[in-house]
Amino acid sequence: MPAIALEPHQLRLTIAPESLGFASTAELQDLPLPWIGQERAQAATQFGLSMDQPDYHLFVLGEVGSGRTSLLRQATQAAAAQRAVPPDLCYLHNFDAPERPRALRLPAGQGRQLRVAMLEMAKMLQTDIPKRLASPDCKAEAETIQKAWQKEEAIAFATLDAFAEARHFRLSREGGQMVFTLTGDKGHPLTENEALALPRERRAEIDAAEQALRTEIARFLDAMRPLERARDEALANLRRQTIKPLIEHAVQDIRQGLKKQIKDAAKLGQWLDQVEREVLNRLALFEAGNADDEDAEDERKHHLAELLARCQVNLAVDNSERNGAPVVVEENPQMRGLFGAIDIQTDTDPPHADFSCIRAGSLLKAHGGFILLHLRDLVEDEGLWPRLRRFLRSSRLQIDEGSAAAAHGPTAPVALQPEAVDVDVKIVLIGSVEEYYALQEADPDTARRFRVKVDFAERFAASPATRHATAIFVAHSCKKRGLPHFAPSAVARLLEQTHREADDQCRQSALFANTDALVIESAALCRARGGTLVEAPDVDAALLAHTLRHNYPEEQLHESITEGERLITLHGTVAGQINAMTQVDLGDYRFGFPMRITARTFAGHEGLLNIEREVDMSGPIHDKGVLILHSYLTALFSHVAPLALNASIVFEQEYSGVEGDSASCAELYALLSSLSGLPLRQGIAVTGALNQHGEVLPVGGINEKIEGWFHACAAAGLDGTQGVLIPARNLRHLMLSRAIVDAVERGLFHVYTVGHVSEGIALLTGEASGMGPGALPDLAADVEGTVLSRAEQTLRAFRRACQSAGQTRRGSGRRNGAARQAG
C-alpha cells in the first residue's frame, strides 16, 4: 500500500464554538467545579478520606500542575466539614516533676476557657488573699493565738529571769538573743575592772552561776521551740482556713464552668488540687513585707510571680473557633513547624524553659483532621523524614527541645520531656510517580502506611462532558481573579490547546495549571485592547507571546540553517542522505528541529557501525533502535547471506548526543539508498521507529517535529515538493499549527503516513520497494526495478569483492610460504 497524503482536516482537531452551548463563561461561574478527567483519583480520595482506620494515609501521585494539591485541599476541607471539632490541647506545670509537663485535652473551646479562668483566678488571689488576711476577724484570731503564746512565753521567761536574778545576773532580750549582765550587791551592773577585782573564790562562784544560767537558758529555748511551732502552725492553719474557702470557691467555679464531658477529667482535677495546695502552702508570698527592705520585697514578688505562672495554662492548640476538623497545608515543613518545639528563654541567666515554652507543630494542630505534605520537602530536610516515619509507627508525638537545647551547650536548662500525646491525623502525602515507586522500594515499611494510592492522570479521554467541565473551570478562574469572561470561540481555542498539550485529538491534558496560566494571559491581552470578552485571537496572541518568551534557542538553531552553518538540503535528491526530525526538550519549552543523517556502505565484514555509539554519544534506546534496524536489514537480505557489508550511519553536526529510536526508519532509508544507489527526496523529512518486521511504530513529539521541519522549509520558501513522512499510528496525535494546515490546503506542504517501511522507501525514491510482508522480498514485484533488487545486486558485488580479496590474500600467503621453505 502506498504512503497516504493526509487531508487538511486530519492534521488537527477543530472544535466548533457553537457546540459548547453557552454565550459566555459568565453563565457557568456558579456551577460546581468537578474533578475533570480524574474520576479514578476522586474515587480513591473519597475512599481514603472516609477510612477511619490506622495506616490508611493517602499518597497522591501526579505531575505538577495536574491540580493534585488544590483538589486534595478541596476534598479534605469538604471531609473535615463533616467531622466533629477536635479537642484543644493544653500543657500544664507538673508540680511533682517540673521537667515533665502534663498534656491535657479538653473539648474545643474549653482550653481557652480554662486559660482565661486561671488568669482571672491569679488576679483575684493577688487582691483578695491580702484582704482576707488583713480582715478584723483574721487579725483578732491571730492576736489571740499570739497573746496565748506570749503569755506562756512570759511565764517561762519570768521563771528564767528569777533564776538569773538569784545568781546576781540581769537578763534581757536584744535582737532575738538572750543577754545577761553580772550585778553587784546593790543590783547595779559591774564593770569589767570591778569584776576582775573580786576575790578568786567569788569569781569561781560567778563562773559556776554563769554556767548554770546558760544551761537554764538552753532549757528555756528548748521549751519555747514547741510552743513557737504550735503558734506558727496555729497561725498557718488560721491563714489556710481563712483563704481555703476563697480558693475552693474559685476552683469550684472553674470546674463548674467546664460542663462538657472531659476525657482527662481526672488529670485536670488532680492538677487543680495541686494548684490549691501550692497556693495554700505559700500564702506568705501574697503579703507585702517591710517596705524598707527592697531586696526582700523584690524577691517575694519574684517568687509570687513564679508561683502564679506555674498555675497558668499553656494553650498549645486552640480549636474554639472551628466548625469542623482542621486541614493543615504545610508548605514549608521544618522540624519545629511540623513536630513542635520548646522555646528556651535566653533572657535569663541561666537560660530557662518550662511548660509555657512548649509550642505545638502542624501535626498536633491537625489532630482529628488532615495534613497535606509534599514528599520532596520532607526528604530534602535531613532528619525530618526519619522522625515522621517513627511517628507513623506509633501515632504518638512528644515534643522535645532538639537543636535548641544543644545550641546552649553546658548552659542549657534541664531538658523538658513533655508528656507524649496520641495524634489522630490523616496524612496526605503528595509526590511524583517516580517518588512514589522509589518510596515503595527504599522504605516498604513506611510505604505500607499509605495504603490509599491517589493516582492523577496526565491526560484523559475527551468528551462533551469534559469540555463543558473545562469551560466551568475557565469560568471559575475568571470569577476568582476578576478577569473578563471568555467567549465560546476563546474556550474552543483553549480546549484545542489542551489537546495539543496531550498530543492527542481524542484526549485532553490534565495539567490544568497550564490552562489556568493561558486564561490569565489571554484575559490580560483582552484588557490591553480594551475588550470586555476574551475572544479566540486573544488566546492565539497569548500563545504566540508565550512562544516568543521561550523560543530563543529554537530561533538560534534555525538561523544556523538559514545562514548555512548547519547543512540541511531542502530540495532535490541525494543518495545515502536523508533529513530526520528530532525534538529538543528544554523543560519549559519543546520544539522540533531537522537533522541530516548520512549512510555509507562498502564491501567488508564488520557489519553496521553506529558512529554515535562508538563515541558514547548515543543513549540505550537509540542503540536498541539501531540493533533492531540491523536485525531487520539482515533478515531482509537473508537470502544472500552471509552479508559482506561494512556500513556506517551518522547524525551530521550533532554534538550533544542522540537518544530515542524515532530515527530508525530514516537510518534504514539512508542505508537502502546507499546500497541501491537510488537518491532520496530531500524535501521530505522522516520520523518513525520500526520493529523487526519493518512495521513503522509511533513516536513522541510528533507535532513539534513536523513544525520544526516546516519552519525550516518555510524560511527557504515552500515549493510544493516538501513535506514529512510519519507513522500512520501517529495520525490521532496530530495537532499541528494552523500555518501548516493552510500550507497543506494550498498544496505547498504535505504530510504522508506509512504503516510499513516499504511504503516510505517507495515514496522517497520513486521506485517500488520490492519488499513483502514482514522481512521478506516481494516476489510479485518487478525484480529488476525495485529498491531491494538494486541493493541486493550491490551486496552480491560486495561479497564477490570480498571473496576475490580473500583468494588473493590466500594465494599470496602460499607463495610467500613456498619462498620461505625454499630459503
Q: Are 425 and 317 in contact (CB under 8 A)?
A: no
- Please tell me the distance from the alpha carbon of residue 699 to that of residue 740, in angstroms, as a whole number: 19
Q: For residues 80 and 369, is the Cβ–Cβ distance under 8 A? A: yes
Q: Which three cell numbers stand for residue 361?
A: 507543630
CA distance linking residue 647 with residue 73, whole number of Å: 59
What is the Cα–Cα distance from 136 to 677, expressed in whole angstroms? 127
Half-sphere exposure of 27 (CA within 13 A, CB side): 10
Q: Label the pairing between strands 696-697 and 327-329.
A: unpaired
* Helix, strand, coil abundance in the chain, percent, nearest 5: 55, 15, 30
- Alpha carbon distance 761, 680 (integer Å): 8
| Residue of 489, 662, 664, 789 marked active site | 662
* Distance from C-alpha of 790 to C-alpha of 307, rounded to nearest angstrom: 105
The 10 Å Cβ neighbour count of residue 292 is: 7
The set of residues, in sequence order, having a beta carbon less than 8 Å from that of 239 and lying 6+ positions away, is 133, 138, 283
User: For residues 5 and 752, is the Cβ–Cβ distance under 8 A?
Assistant: yes
What are the DSSP calls for 72-133, one per residue? HHHHHHHHHHTSPPPPEEEEE--SS-TTSPEEEEE-TTHHHHHHHHHHHHHHHHHHHHHHHH
3-state secondary structure of 157: helix
Cα 409 to Cα 346, 354, 607, distances in angstroms: 13, 18, 72
Closest listed residue to residue 92, CA positions, set 101, 83, 84, 82: 101
User: Is 705 assigned a catalytic role?
Assistant: yes
- Please count the helices (runs of H) and the strands (runs of E) in the chain: 27, 28
Among candidate residues 705, 758, 769, 789, the one labeled active-site is 705
Q: What is the DSSP letter of 500?
A: H
d(CA 707, CA 581): 10
Query: Measuring CA to CA, which residue among 721, 765, 713, 714 is closest to residue 747?
Result: 721
C-alpha span between 344 and 347 (Å, rounded): 9
HSE-CB for 70 with a 13 A CA cutoff: 16
What lies within 8 Å, CB to CB, of 783 at 6+ separation is 770, 789
Rounded to whole angstroms, the Cα distance separating 450 from 427 reads 8
Residues 6+ apart with CB under 8 A from 187: 170
Residue 373 CA to residue 216 CA, distance in Å, equals 81
What is the C-alpha to C-alpha distance for residues 97 and 118, in angstroms, rounded to an integer? 21
Helical ranges in 573-688 per DSSP H: 611-614, 620-636, 664-676
Q: What are phi and psi of 29, to 5 degrees?
A: -70, -20
Would residue 260 show up in a list of annotated catalytic residues for this protein? no
* Strand, helix or coil for residue 66: coil
Whether residue 642 is preceded by a cis peptide bond, meaning omega within 30 degrees of 0, is yes
* Pairwise CA distance, residues 685 & 73, whole Å: 48
Three-state SS annotation for 436-453: HHHHHHHCHHHHCCECEE
CA distance 269 to 108: 18
Cell output for 602: 562498502
Residue type, 410: P
First to last CA, the chain: 68
Residues involved in catalysis: 662, 705
